[in-house]
Every structure is written in structure tokens, then in C-alpha cells.
Amino acid sequence: MPHEPMSFDHLSAAAAKRHEQNGWPGSRHEAWRFTNLNAIKAQSFTPAKRSDLPGSSEDKNLIHFINGISQNTDNINISGLNIESLNASPDLISALADAVPDDHSVADFALAHASDGVALTVTRQVNDPLVFRFSYEGDGISSHPVVVVDVKPGASLNILEEHLGSGAGLSAPLMLFRLGEGANLHHARRLVEDESRYHLGLNLIQLSAKAYYHGDMVMSGGSLSRSETQVCVSAPDAEAYLNAVYLGRGDQMRDVTSRIDHDAPDGKSFQRIHGILDDNAKAVFQGKVKVARYAQKTDGNQMSRTLILSRQAEANIKPELEIYADDVTCSHGATIGEIDADQLFYLKSRGISDEDARQLLIEAFLVDVIDELGDPQRDWLMAAIKEWIEGR
């Protein structure tokens, strides 16, 4: 049953109570079986407070968060876009309360420690991309930005979202994207925080009839990074596309988790996940597609490919299909392998050095995920991939 309009304080207090009771999940929780949170459990984090550092910008297309807290947004004046405090939007607070999964540790942690959030309402087609920049700094500090984006029927928006920063802190962003009938959202993200940080993020996507969501991500930073996306296809003819690239080296941990619930007929969902692991890095992709009995004509597909550069690296792939309808087209696939020796030999036979040949094959493996994107998303995401490749 939908929540009545409520205050953010009420939502936060309820989440704090749940997190105090449940704590962080352990290996017995199926959704966290491959992701060890002992390093986070062993630390005591201090919730971030508003920074005294200058966070405003003359860029009318930039919303800047410092340690999860939004800075001055008075400079943003875009036709069709309204930005306000989440505290001033009780209806969107209630929508967030409805959308948050039961007893979800990341969501409860974020809500428990956030004093407010940001609410964006999109009422028309917005052509210029809107940039979310999340800057983190400081050891032992936890950051918990809460953002709700409400895209009204027929409206559209492009978002470029970036997480970067230093210090052995914890980032726990919680975001809800509601798309009205015929709404369109392109959402590109790059997680490039320093290797000392922890990142646990949750994105919630709600699609109305004929809505279209395209999400693309590059994950290359952080000691432990987990990005979880949950999509609800609640009306006919909605489409969701989730593409991700994860890059791990050293002792890094990468976790890409998704769940897509098809609760209406004629929906489409496509997931494409490519990862590269070097040294002792570990990764998990777990993607679940659930099709309700009345969601006939659903087309759901997911494909995961991982390239292993070291015998010590480890990848765990867990695709799931839970289908109750009888007229659907759903599939999943997964591959884990090393660089193709024949391809490597061919390049070297053409006078290319061993290392340069490996770099070319690595880049080709990754570019396939975002090659079909338009500007500025493609170049923006490729910059993060090239930086990681050159850093090898």
C-alpha cells in the first residue's frame, strides 16, 4: 500500500531503526554471498557534515555534491527542470519510501544518516546533459547522498554522473528515478574514486508505459565497489538497457548487481556486462530477471563477459531467470576467459609489441559495450576506460 506523504525525518528515523536491528549483511545473505563487507564492518564511520569548501559553480548544468551533501544550486536555471530540497517534496519522499526494498542495508544506511536529499522534476525535453559530480574526501567519513529524479510523461533528460575522491571513507548513494509515460532517460555513470575508498550504491528505476531508460556505467575505482540497480517495469511497452564495464586490479573487489522485475506485458530489458580483472582482483555479477505471469510478450536478455589477465584473479557470475509467463523471449549467457592467444599472435606478427598488442585487445573487448552510444556519453565513459588501461 502506498505511503501517505511524510517528512524526510520520519523516513530517516525508520531506516535508522532497521539498520540498527539488521546491520550489514554477511555471507549468509544470498545477495551478498560473494562480497565480503568485513573491512567496512571493522570501521566506525563518522557521517559527513556540510563542507566549508567552495562547492558552487558557474556551470548551469552541474549539481555538485561534496561528501554526499549538495552545494548551492541557485546557478542552475534550465527550462523544464526544477530542483529543490527533498524535504520540500513530501510526495517524492513517499515515492522513495515505497520504492526502497524491504530491509535493504545500503538504502537504510543512506537514509539513516542523510539529513535531506535532492529532488529533481523534469517537465519537458532537456537537451543539454545534466552533470552530477560527487566529490569525496577524508578518512573514516561516510557519505550518503539521496536523490530523486521525477521525469514527467513525455519529458527527457541526459545525466552524466561521476563519483571521485580520496580518503578511506564510505560512499553510499541512494537514487530513485521515476519515468512517466513516454519519458526518456539516458544515464551514464563513472565510478573513479581512489583505491582506498568503499562504494556501496543503490539505483531504483521505475518505468511507466512506453518509458525508456538507458543506463551505462564504468566502474574502475575504489577498494570495494558495489553498484546495485533495481528496475520495475510496471506498465506495458517500457524498455530498460543496462550496460556496465568493471575494471579491477590489485586486491580490488567489484560487484555489479541487478534485478529487473517485469510486471507488465510487452516490456524489454537488455543487460550487457563486461569486466577485466588483473592481479588478485575479484568480481561478481549477479543479475536477476523476474517475469510475472501476466507479463506476456516480455523480451529479456542478459550477457556477461569477463577477461582474466591473472591466474590469481577471480570472477563469480550468477545469472538468474524467474519466469511465470509462457509467451516470452528471455535468455542469459556468461563467459570467462583469457586473452585470445591467436589474436595476440596475429598482432605481434604485424610488428606490434606484446604489451601494445595486449592493450589493443583489452580496449577492443571493452569498447564493444559503449561503442554504440552517442555523444557526450561515449567519449565521457571512454575517458575513464583509457585512463585505467594506461594505468596498467
Identity of the residue numbered 306? T
Mind listing the pLDDT tens digit of every residue in the chain (392 residues)?
Answer: 456 677 899 999 999 999 999 999 988 899 999 999 999 999 989 999 876 555 555 677 899 999 999 987 777 888 899 999 999 999 999 999 999 999 999 999 999 999 889 999 999 999 889 999 999 999 999 999 999 999 999 999 999 999 999 999 999 999 999 999 999 999 999 999 999 999 999 999 999 999 999 999 999 999 999 999 999 999 999 999 999 999 999 999 999 999 999 999 999 999 999 999 999 999 999 999 999 999 999 999 999 999 999 999 999 999 999 999 999 999 999 999 998 889 888 888 888 988 888 888 888 888 778 877 777 888 899 899 988 888 76
Cβ atoms 256, 227 nearer than 8 A: yes
- Taking phi over 0 as left and psi of -120 to 50 as alpha, with beta for the rest, 273 belongs to beta
Instruction: Give the predicted TM-score (pTM) of the model.
Output: 0.94
In the block, cell 560512499 appears at: 171
Predicted confidence (pLDDT) per residue in 187-200, tens digit = 999 999 999 999 99
Predicted confidence (pLDDT) per residue in 56-78, tens digit = 556 778 999 999 999 877 778 88
Q: What CA–CA distances, in Å, run from 290 to 69, 209, 260, 262, 278? A: 35, 18, 6, 6, 33
The number of CA neighbours under 13 Å toward the Cβ of 210 is 8
CA distance 116 to 113: 9
Cβ atoms 178, 370 nearer than 8 A: no
Q: Is the peptide bond before 54 cis (omega within 30 degrees of 0)?
A: no
